[in-house]
Every structure is written in C-alpha cells, then in structure tokens.
Amino acid sequence: MIFIALARVWRKKIIFHCHSGKFDQFYFKGRDWQRFLIRWVLSLSDRIVALSPRWTLFFSDILPKAKLAVLENAVPLDHFTSVKSRFPKASEPMVLFAGLLTENKGLFDLLAVLPDLVEKVPSTRVLLAGAGDFKKIRSILHDQGLEKAVDLLGWVDPEELIGWYHQAHLLVLPSYYEGLPMVLLEAMACGLPIVSTRVGGIPELITEGENGILIDPGDRSALLEALAVLLTDPLRQAEMGEKNRNKIKEQYDIPIYVHKLKNLYLEILGEKR
C-alpha cells in the first residue's frame, strides 16, 4: 500500500500484479474499513493484473472492469525440454509432488490415500519435493509403513527438479488454494500429465480428461482414483503429456509472455503496440 501510494504521489504508472491464491479470502475476511482500504489502494493502480480469467471474476466485483487485465504465468519451454535425454522415465510408476509440504497444498490428503494407492499399484514410488514439517510427515509415513515407497526429498534445487519431472510419470498437486501454479507449468513443459484440483486458475490450465484429471479439494476418494487410473495407463500418460507440451508451446512459453507484458506496458503508457 505504501509503495502504491508513493508511486501515485509521484504520478507514476502502476501495475498491481496479484499472484496470491488466497487474495479473495484476504479481502472477504477483512472488516468493512479494511475492505474499503483495499479497494481504494487498488483503485490507484492503472491496471490490476490477474493470473487467469477466473481471477478477474473476483476483482470485477470490487473494481472497474476497465482496470483489469489477464497475464498468465509462463516457463521457458526449451530449458525444460533440452535435458530430457539425460533423465529417462523411472522403471516403476513414479508420482511427483512439488511445492510446500503443507495442508493447503493438499499434502495430507495425498499421504492419506497412499496406503490404498500402493495396494492398487504395488510398485508405486512417491517423491515429495519441498519444505515442510518433516518430523510430522516422517511420523505419518512410519505409522503407515510407507517409508520405502516415499522419498522425502526436501527442498530441491530448480535444476535438479527438472530431472525429477522427466523421470516421474505424473505430477500431483491437490491444493485448496492457488493462483496459477508454476509447478504445473513446469511439469507440463516436461510432458507430465497432471492430477490437481478445481481451484484458482488451474481449471483454465487443465482440461478434464484431456491433459490431466481434476478433483475437488479434499476429495480423497477421487484423488486415489485419479492417481490409480493414470499410473496404470502408460498410453494415456503419453497422450496427456504430449498435449501438455503443446499447450505450453502455444500459450505459456516465455516469448509469448514477454510479448503480452510488453503490450500491457505500451498500452498503459498510451503508445501504439
């Protein structure tokens, strides 16, 4: 708020780019005066940039639609595909979870279905990449007898994570709140099918049954079914993975993002595109 107010005092153009997956909750949980302050501060911006059309629905309820713009996240496709030959697919079915190891990301829903998943697909290996409460997670895995089926990788260097993307057979992210997750875009660039939830901008990224499977957050039965179905169908994995690579190439590659961002700046500055 301070930066926006100062920029307005100095008559600078302002772009407010919202990446939070819980900004709507932040707004609605505030008191009347807090919501008024948020609306006032945002109104000082020349553009409010959302990560997906779905997020503009929220902002259009509190701000003029003329101020809204959509700019999705993007990834450098060539960077993610160039190392594919160095990381062949794992021989056993491999599920990758990458992100904060927290309840909001749906981690504990995933842990809850793992015993049944391993029973359905006995050779399944699950990789958990990210920071979190390792003591609690290890305790759960110990109680379930899953220490050998789950690798707790901890925080993984971004370059190392690319290798895990290529070795895995699918990425799972059963989040409760999201903007437009970079981890999904990265996994898609590496040709992975996706199992995720209908939150934030994810439904605009994943088309049900075409390049992934979507479930409602907290629906553990659906999560188990989605993982089991994809892990036992290599042909479907390959088809979804190819569609994801193509989708990144056509809509979410970095050059496309740069072009959109440049046009946004020029529009605000009042110049021709």
Q: Residue 102 is encoded by which pair of tokens?
A: 């927290």
Q: Are residues 81 and 67 in the same domain?
A: no
Q: Is there a single domain that holds both residue 63 and residue 102? A: no
Q: What is residue 37's three-state secondary structure?
A: helix
pLDDT at 273 over 70: no
Each residue of 184-209: pLDDT tens digit?
A: 999 999 999 999 999 999 999 999 99
Domain count, the chain: 2
The answer to whether position 265 is within a domain reads no
Token couple for 265:
């700046």
Q: How far apart are CA 260 and CA 134, in angstroms?
A: 40
User: Tokens 């961002």 correspond to what residue?
Assistant: 261
Q: Assign residue 138 a region: left if phi > 0, alpha if psi is -120 to 50, beta otherwise?
A: alpha
In the numeric block, which tokens belong to residue 60? 């259009």
Label residue 272 by pLDDT band (50, 70, 90): low
Determine if the pTM surpasses 0.75.
yes
**Any domain includes 154:** yes
Domain ends where: 34, 49, 71? Answer: 71
Q: Which of 25, 54, 71 is the last residue in one of the domains? A: 71
Q: Which of 47, 71, 95 is the last residue of a domain?
A: 71
Average pLDDT of the segment spanning 258-263:
96
Is 164 found in the same domain as 225?
yes
pLDDT digits (tens, 9 = 90+) for 92-117: 999 999 999 999 999 999 999 999 99
DSSP result, 183-227: HHHHHHHTT--EEEES-TTHHHH--BTTTEEEE-TT-HHHHHHHH
- Cα(158)–Cα(160) distance, integer angstroms: 5
Residue range(s) defining the domain that contains residue 35:
2-71
Give percent helix, percent strand, percent coil of the chain, each to the nearest 5. 50, 15, 35
Instruction: Say yes or no: 81 and 214 in one domain.
Output: yes
Enter the tokens of residue 54.
Answer: 């779905």
30 shares its domain with 111:
no
Residues 19 and 148 in one domain: no
Candidates 237, 244, 240, 243; CA nearest to 189 is: 244
Cα dihedral 225, 226, 232, 237, rounded to 10, equals 170
Cβ–Cβ < 8 Å for 177, 106: no
- Helix axis angle, 107-120 to 220-231, nearest 10°: 50
**Residue 148 pLDDT greater than 70, yes or no:** yes
| Residue 159: inside a domain | yes
Please report whether residue 164 resides in a domain: yes
Q: Is pLDDT at 20 greater than 70 in this prediction?
A: yes
Q: Residues 15, 88: one domain?
A: no
In whole numbers, what is the pLDDT of the chain averaged over residues?
95
151 occurs within a structural domain: yes
Q: Looking at the domain assignment, is residue 270 inside a domain? A: no
Residue 106 in domain? yes
pLDDT reported for residue 2:
92
Whether residue 273 lies inside any domain: the answer is: no
Residues 185 and 213 in one domain: yes
State whether 232 and 120 are in the same domain: yes
Q: CATH code at 127? A: 3.40.50.2000
Residues 92, 200 within the same domain: yes
Please check whether residues 37 and 122 belong to one and the same domain.
no
The percent of residues in the chain predicted with pLDDT above 70, rounded, is: 99
Tell me, yes or no, whether 101 and 172 share the same domain: yes
